[in-house]
Amino acid sequence: MKKQTSTFTIFNRYRLRAGYCIRFNRIRTVICQERNIMKQLVIGFFGLLLTSVQAQTYKPVDEGSSVKFTIKNFGFNVSGTFHGLNGTIQYDPAKPLNTSFDVTVDANTINTGIDMRDEHLRSDSYFDVKNYPQIHFVSTRVTTSNKAGTFFVFGNLTIKQTTKEISFPFTIKPQADAYLFNGEFKMNRRDFAIGGSGTISNDLVVKLEVLTKN
């Protein structure tokens, strides 16, 4: 003869099943939360790794670089160079508009090929290298240009006690383990109290080829 199951027994069975379901759902929720946390950690880790690979600080190096200027004297072109590059350049190939420059050059290294003239240019009436040993450029922003692969940099150029905003186009060329930044700008020497009136032109052209390594 078949046993009849009491209402109390059925109720207990359903209550037990419900308890199992509640506990299972709680465990599943915890597992899902842990998976989400691990996923976020992995994404964050690789994001930081990718950022560290892309955005790097580079240093300008003298070897492979040149800072040249050309100015007219008695109507003839006179060229000269500076050395002693130092500073930092922040560059991310994926975000070139975030590029920034904080670079100096040693004013005492001016070289036009004539020692007597170079000593005169180092004097207080020109670069006054004893009191102002560095020429300093700090960028404020970088923008695009109408020419593909060319950018514009805006920043502050400090020579002696004078700081002026300048802007000029530049390009970036990848090298084996470095980048080469090329740019050119015109400036008026009288804006920076470099020399007085005379046979030397007020305007000069500065050409930059700056090799950077990290």
pLDDT in tens, 97-116: 999 999 999 999 999 999 99
Look at residues 101, 106, 107, 84 and name the one whose alpha carbon lies nearest to residue 168. 101
Pick from 21-30, 56-65, 137-146, 160-169: least confident: 21-30
**Given a cut of 60, is residue 158 above it in pLDDT?**
yes
Domain boundaries, the chain: 1-54, 55-213
- Residue 50's pLDDT is 46
Handedness of CA 158, 159, 161, 162 (dihedral sign): negative
- Residue 11's pLDDT is 46
Report the CATH superfamily, name and number, of domain 55-213.
Answer: Lipid/polyisoprenoid-binding, YceI-like (2.40.128.110)
Polymer length of the chain: 214
Say which residues have a Cβ less than 8 Å from residue 42's Cβ, sequence separation at least 6. none
Better pLDDT: 11 or 169? 169
Could you tell me if 183 and 208 are in contact, meaning their C-beta atoms sit under 8 angstroms apart?
yes
Could you tell me if 57 and 88 are in contact, meaning their C-beta atoms sit under 8 angstroms apart?
yes
Q: Which two tokens stand for residue 64?
A: 């492979």
The residue with tokens 């090799």 is 211
C-alpha 129/C-alpha 148 separation (Å) is 39
Q: Which two tokens stand for residue 130?
A: 């004893």
C-alpha 117/C-alpha 123 separation (Å) is 10
Its pTM stands at 0.74
pLDDT in tens, 58-88: 999 999 999 999 999 998 999 999 999 999 9
The fraction of the chain above a pLDDT of 70, given in percent, is 74
